[in-house]
Amino acid sequence: MDAVVLEEAGSPRLVDRPRPDPAPGEVLVRIDRVGVDGTDREVVAGAHGRVESSMVLGHEAVGTVADPNGTAFEPGETVVPTVRRPPGDHNEYFRRGEPDMAPMDATVECGIDGADGFMAEFVAVPSEYLLRLPERLAPAGFLVEPLSVTAKALELVEASREPFTWERNRALVLGTGSLGLLTLPVLDDRFEEVYCLGRRDRDDPAVQLAESVGATYVDSRETAVDDVPGAHAPMDLVVEATGHAPHAAESVAALAPNGVAALLGVPTDHEAPVELGELHRELVVGNRALIGSVNAGYSHFEQAVEWLDALPASVVDAFTEHVYPLAEFEAALDRDVIKTAVELDP
């Protein structure tokens, strides 16, 4: 079967691999579409994750059950695989159903970190790592994984503000990548006003999409993150979805009292002077919080399916506009548009 693998940084290749033979408890899934995001590009560039000799790329997938192999699935069901797997035997995090809380040495991540991903015609997936979704959601099913990342982050955010009356007036998403853009309609349902900060021109399709779901665009070349309160208003929530290292401290400066910043991006090293006293004071005196979040658990994937079903059609259209056949996987990995994906069985 065809698969896109990475053997050395910068050079993903389309290769022939044997079709996997599902072990007991595993489902054979025919992959339909695989989304591409910034993490995939970092993996290809060798800047994220780890590749042991050869790794199939892709972690945002939707497929169809080809062989239930004795599990509770039915042939033809539309499914999405989760990303994390135990490295060897199940450990406590996987036993609890909280793989997203596993430290990095207690998990591998399909297509990212030490395990084959989903950009292949067939994959064998243990049934507990598969999620059903309605067939009508199949064309955009590769958005379940990124939406699950937002679902987990917002669960942590909401929990952190649960002891008091948290005012949901304004939320700001940092980043106009696919994760940031997908988060906007979710926040639009929960906050009075939603802002989106990026480095794109106003006529860029990503900015137009952000504005089409009701977000106010802030060009970071004109207004820095910590200037947002002065230029617009202080934010009750900031979602950092770029991985730009200075954003952690800058986000705190953008927060209203009692606000919280969720960090989702994974930055590279970046040393810089910081006014630590001010950062510390703003956190304490303003009851502010900074919350890191990575990956997602099964319940977050389930939440993501609900959110996917509720996405405006214009968003789904924009996110499924650039789907390439497998032979053109390099275009999907290269192009900086709202979202790209690879289709395996057109």
Which residues of this protein are in contact with a copy of itself, per CB under 8 A? 96, 98, 100-104, 155-156, 159-165, 243, 245-249, 257-258, 263-294, 297
CB atoms within 10 A of CB 109: 24
Q: Judged by CB, which is closer to a copy of itself: 133, or 174?
A: 174
Q: Judged by CB, which is closer to a copy of itself: 51, or 102?
A: 102
The CB-of-98 to a copy of itself minimum distance in angstroms stands at 5
Q: Nearest 5°: CA angle at 37, between 51 and 242?
A: 105
Which residues lie closer than 8 Å to 251 by C-beta, 6 or more apart?
174, 225, 238, 240, 261, 263, 290
Contacts 24+ apart (CB under 8 A), 9-12: 9/44, 9/45, 9/46, 9/51, 10/44, 10/45, 10/46, 12/44, 12/57, 12/329, 12/330, 12/333
What are the tokens at 168? 């949901």
Q: Which amino acid is at 319?
A: F
Q: Is the dihedral of CA 210, 241, 129, 33 positive or negative?
A: positive
In DSSP notation, 311-328 reads S-HHHHHHHTSEEEEGGG
The CB-of-220 to a copy of itself minimum distance in angstroms stands at 16
Angle between helices 276-285 and 247-254 (to 10 degrees): 40
Q: Judged by CB, which is closer to a copy of itself: 85, or 161?
A: 161
Shortest CA distance to 258 belongs to which of 147, 153, 164, 125?
164
Which residues lie closer than 8 Å to 184 by C-beta, 6 or more apart?
173, 194, 196, 210, 213, 214, 215
Beta-bridge mates of residue 216: 195
Q: Judged by CB, which is closer to a copy of itself: 214, or 246?
A: 246
The CB-of-28 to a copy of itself minimum distance in angstroms stands at 31
Give, rounded to a whole angstrom, the gap between the first and last alpha carbons of the chain: 15
Q: Judged by CB, which is closer to a copy of itself: 34, or 252?
A: 252
The CB-of-90 to a copy of itself minimum distance in angstroms stands at 15
Q: Judged by CB, which is closer to a copy of itself: 26, or 37?
A: 37
Q: Judged by CB, which is closer to a copy of itself: 91, or 216?
A: 91
The CB-of-116 to a copy of itself minimum distance in angstroms stands at 21
Beta-bridge mates of residue 324: 342
The CB-of-52 to a copy of itself minimum distance in angstroms stands at 19
The CB-of-152 to a copy of itself minimum distance in angstroms stands at 8
Q: Round to whole Å and give the CA distance between 155 and 172.
A: 17
Q: Judged by CB, which is closer to a copy of itself: 149, or 326?
A: 149
Q: Judged by CB, which is closer to a copy of itself: 164, or 222?
A: 164
- Report residue 329: phi and psi, to 5°: -60, -30
The CB-of-245 to a copy of itself minimum distance in angstroms stands at 4
Which residues lie closer than 8 Å to 38 by C-beta, 6 or more apart?
177, 178, 179, 243
The CB-of-141 to a copy of itself minimum distance in angstroms stands at 25
